[in-house]
Amino acid sequence: MVRLAPPLSQRKSLTATPEKDPFMKAIQFLTNSSEAGSAIEVELATPTPEGHDILVKVEAVGLNPVDYKVRPGEGADPKTLGFDAAGVVVSGGDKTSLFKEGDLVYYAGDVTRPGSNAEYQLVDERIVGKRPSSLNAVTSAALPLTALTAWESLFHQLGIDFDARDKNAGKTLLIIGGAGGVGSIAIQLAKLAGLTVIATASREESAAWCRKLGADHIINHHGEMPAQLRELGIDHVNYIANFNKVDGVWEAMGEMIAPQGGIVLITGHEKHLDMAGQFKMKSVSISWEFMFTRSMFTTDDIIEQHRILNRVAELVDDGKILTTANDNLSPINAENILEGHRRLESGTSIGKLTVSGWA
C-alpha cells in the first residue's frame, strides 16, 4: 500500500475510506443448486489482510458460468461464491504496494478462495485493477473475468501482439460464440489489434450485437462453418477463439484453421478428441485459457492480471471498449444471487448480469 491503513481504532476520522465492521454479511451456498434455500445469508468475522492481500468492501458483483459450476457438492462445506467484483480498498497487508485505501478497484478474484458474495473480501492485489473512472461499480463488475479471459486468450495464448496493428492487418480470427460474455470483449479487442474478425452467432439479435461490437463478418455456428467461410472468400483463418462448446465443432475447426494456425479453447469437452489429422498436418497449436490459472498457482507473472485490468480500464475510459453489463439485481442477498444463478443456468441471458448494493 502506498498509504497503509491505520489500525481500526485510529481510523474514525478518515471518512473517505469505508469503515471496516468487525462482522460482515456473506451469501453462502450449502448445496449445488439454485433453488430457494440452497444459499443463505450468514454473518462472518471480517477478515484482516496479510501479505499481498488487500481488503475490499464489495459494492457490486458480476455473475459468470463459473459461479454455478463451483457450487459445493454433497457433503462439502458451505461456500462463499462470487468472482467478478467492484469495490473500494479498505486496507492492505504488509507486502502490498499497488493500491491505497479508498481506491476504486475491480477484479475477477481467485476460484480457490472465499468469493465476492460478501460485504468484504480479501484478494491478492496483483490480480486487482483500478476500475474505469467512466463506469460505476455495477458496470465495472461486469468486466473483469470476461476481459481477462478474452485478453489472455488473444494476446497470451494465441500470441497476437495487441500493439502490432500493421503486423496483424490481413490476419483473420474466427470467434466461435461472439455474442457471449467473453466473445463480446474479444471482438472489440481483436478489432483494436487490427485483425479481421469473423464472429459466430446463431440468432439475429446476437448477430446484430456482434456487428455493433465491430465484427467484420458473421457466420452461424449451428450451420456448416467451413462452407460459410468459403462463401465469404475465406478458406482458412489464422486463429480460432472458441468461447463456446468444443465437441460439435472439432472437425470443422481442423478444416478451417490455417497451416501454423492457433486455436484457443475455454471450455471442457464431453468426448475425447482426435488431435491428429488436420491439426498435425498443419502444425496447429491448441491452447487452453483458464483465467484462474495465474491465481490458482501463484505463477511468477501473476501481476500480469493487474496490468491487463488497468489497461482494459484505460481502453474503456478512452471509449474503445464497451462494457457488456446489461442487467442488474439489487441488493446483494441470497434471493438475488440465487435468481442470478437461475438466469445464467437457463442460458438465455444476454450480456452480463450483475448484483449490487447491500440492504
- CA dist 246 and 249 (Å) reads 6
Max CA separation in the chain (angstroms): 69
Among 89, 289, 333, 355, which residue interacts with a copy of itself (rule: CB under 8 A)?
289
* By CB under 8 A, residue 166 contacts a copy of itself: no
Minimal distance, residue 247 CB to a copy of itself, in Å: 11
Quote the Cα angle for 189-112-127, to 5°.
40
Near a copy of itself in 17-46, by CB under 8 A: none
**Nearest CB to a copy of itself, comparing residues 287 and 349:** 287
CA distances from 252 to 1, 18, 50, 145, 232 (A): 50, 53, 49, 28, 16
For the bound state, the minimum distance from the C-beta of residue 144 to a copy of itself, rounded and expressed in Å, comes to: 17
Q: Which of 51, 159, 223, 248 binds a copy of itself (CB under 8 A)?
A: 159
Q: State yes or no: residue 97 binds a copy of itself (CB under 8 A).
A: no
Under rule CB under 8 A, which residues in 294-333 are in contact with a copy of itself? 294, 296-297, 299, 301
**Of residues 163, 169, 251, 288, which one binds a copy of itself by CB under 8 A?**
288
Distance CA 92, CA 110 (A): 17
**16: contact with a copy of itself by CB under 8 A:** no
Nine cell digits for residue 5: 491503513
Residue the block writes with cell 473475468: 145
Q: Which of 2, 4, 169, 275 binds a copy of itself (CB under 8 A)?
A: 275
Query: Given the complex with a copy of itself, which of 20 and 294 has the nearer CB atom?
Result: 294
Contacts of 359 (CB under 8 A, 6+ apart): 331, 333
Q: 216: which residues sit within 8 A by CB, 6+ positions away?
A: 196, 197, 198
Apex 230 CA angle, 227 and 235, nearest 5: 115
Question: Looking at 282, 311, 342, 343, which residue binds a copy of itself (CB under 8 A)?
Answer: 282
What's the rounded Cα separation, in Å, for the pair 107 and 121?
11
In whole angstroms, what is the distance from residue 25 CA to residue 292 CA? 25
Residue 268 is a binding residue for a copy of itself (CB under 8 A)? yes
Shortest Cβ 261–a copy of itself spacing (Å): 10
Q: Which window, 86-94, 183-191, 264-272, 327-335, contacts a copy of itself (CB under 8 A)? A: 264-272
Check binding of 12 to a copy of itself (CB under 8 A).
no
Spacing of C-alpha 184 from chain mean position? 11
Which residues, numbered 133-152, are part of the site for a copy of itself (CB under 8 A)?
152
Member of 94, 259, 318, 335 binding a copy of itself (CB under 8 A): 259
Instruction: Tell me: cis bond preceding 226? Omega within 30 of 0 counts.
Output: no
Among 73, 271, 346, 348, binds a copy of itself (CB under 8 A): 271
CB of 260 to a copy of itself, least distance (A): 6
Contact region for a copy of itself (CB under 8 A) — 69-77, 200-208, 282-290, 306-314?
282-290
User: Beta 84-92 vs 53-62: how paired, if at all?
Assistant: antiparallel
Choice from 222, 269, 307, 320 touching a copy of itself (CB under 8 A):
269
| Contact yes or no for 249/202 (Cβ under 8 A) | no
Closest CA to 121 of 112, 109, 130, 131: 109
Q: Does 53 bind a copy of itself (CB under 8 A)?
A: no
Candidates 9, 10, 283, 346; binder of a copy of itself (CB under 8 A) is 283
Single residue of 273, 303, 322, 350 touching a copy of itself by CB under 8 A? 273
- As a whole number of angstroms, the distance between CA 247 and CA 269 comes to 6
Interface with a copy of itself (CB under 8 A): 152, 157, 159, 259-260, 265, 268-269, 271-277, 279-290, 293-294, 296-297, 299, 301
